[in-house]
Each structure stands twice: as C-alpha cells, then as structure tokens.
C-alpha cells in the first residue's frame, strides 16, 4: 500500500520539477530551442539564439590576442597593429559574410553533415554555470570549445562568444 503512494508522490514531484528545468528563461531552454531551429533548418529562429556579430568580434579579438602573446619583435607588433586596423575596417563585411554562410548552412539539406552531432546531442550533457546575466557552457567530458551566453531583455539567452582552449 505504501509503494503506490510513494510512486504517486514521486510522479507529482517529477511533474513539478521537470518543467522548471527547462523554463523559458534558462540557458538550457534557449539551447534546446536553438537545437530545434537548427534541425528544422530555420535560420531566422536559430539567429534568435546566436549573436553572430558578437561571436565574430570575439573570435577576431581572441585571434589577435593569441598572436600578440607570441610576437617577439617590433616588426611583428607593427604587423599585428596593422592587422587589427585592417580587421576593424573589414569587420562589417566579415560579419555579413559569416551570417550569410551560417544561414546557408542552416537552411541547406545538410549534405555536408553539419547537423549529425546536433541530432545526437542533448542539452542535458552540458555543464552550464550561470553568473548573473551570463552563462558559461561546456560539454561534459573532454572538449576544446566552450561558449558564453548572455541573457537578453526578453529572457532568452544567446550565444555571444566561442571560447577555444
């Protein structure tokens, strides 16, 4: 007689807790929505969860920082400074190109196999550390890539930075 009561209590608690795990204002829920948009080949919906401009800016910044650490001579430092200036001038075009290529990849028939890993992936296999309005997301296990998300005013979370180790 106790087992059915416990089972009923367990199911009741489960019904209360599970919806809370994927509330619309969590990074996990936004990632789940992004996954669905990618699998549906819906670029417009996917872009609601990816800030391509900020991702591109961060990747360019990180690339220059990586090379600045290795610059040993004044000539290399000068070359990096010139490269930064050229990149800042070309940045609007680079952002448009990345957005266009990403849109084409999302809307494609996936002959290249871009989304095979996404089909098998689950948002439950991600470690998500939230601090205020930002979250650091990393796959569980070994991975060289993490990403940062930021909370938008409407409660959604967007990927704003890709972090390479």
How confident is the model over 60-75, as pLDDT tens digits?
A: 999 888 888 888 888 8
- C-alpha angle 69/73/76, rounded to 5°? 70
Sign of CA pseudo-dihedral 93, 94, 99, 105: positive
How confident is the model over 122-153, as pLDDT tens digits?
A: 888 889 999 999 999 998 888 888 999 999 99
Q: 102: closest CA among 66, 65, 59? A: 59
pLDDT exceeds 80 at position 16? no
What's the average model confidence in pLDDT over 16-42? Answer: 78
- How many angstroms separate the first and last alpha carbons of the chain? 55
pLDDT of residue 5: 53
How confident is the model over 72-117, as pLDDT tens digits?
A: 888 888 888 888 898 889 999 999 999 999 999 899 887 777 677 7
Q: Residue ranges per domain, the chain?
A: 25-164
Q: Band of the pLDDT at 1, cuts 50, 70, 90?
A: very low
Q: Band of the pLDDT at 44, cuts 50, 70, 90?
A: very high
Structure tokens, 165? 């180790």
pLDDT of residue 28: 94
pLDDT exceeds 70 at position 42? yes
Q: Band of the pLDDT at 121, cuts 50, 70, 90?
A: confident
């Amino acid at each position: 007689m106790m087992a059915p009561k416990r089972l009923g209590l367990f199911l009741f608690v489960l019904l209360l807790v599970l919806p809370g795990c994927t509330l619309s204002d969590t990074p996990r829920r936004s990632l789940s929505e992004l996954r669905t948009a990618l699998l549906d080949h819906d670029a417009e919906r996917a872009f609601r969860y990816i800030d391509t401009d900020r991702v591109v800016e961060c990747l360019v910044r990180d690339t220059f920082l990586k090379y600045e650490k290795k610059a040993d001579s004044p000539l290399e430092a000068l070359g990096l400074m010139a490269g930064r200036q050229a990149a800042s001038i070309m940045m609007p075009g680079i952002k448009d190109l990345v957005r266009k290529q990403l849109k084409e990849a999302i809307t494609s028939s996936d002959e290249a196999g871009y989304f095979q890993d996404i089909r098998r992936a689950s948002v439950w296999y991600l470690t998500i550390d939230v601090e205020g309005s930002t979250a650091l997301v990393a796959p569980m296990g070994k991975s060289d890539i993490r990403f940062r998300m930021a909370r938008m005013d409407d409660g959604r979370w967007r990927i704003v930075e890709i972090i390479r180790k």
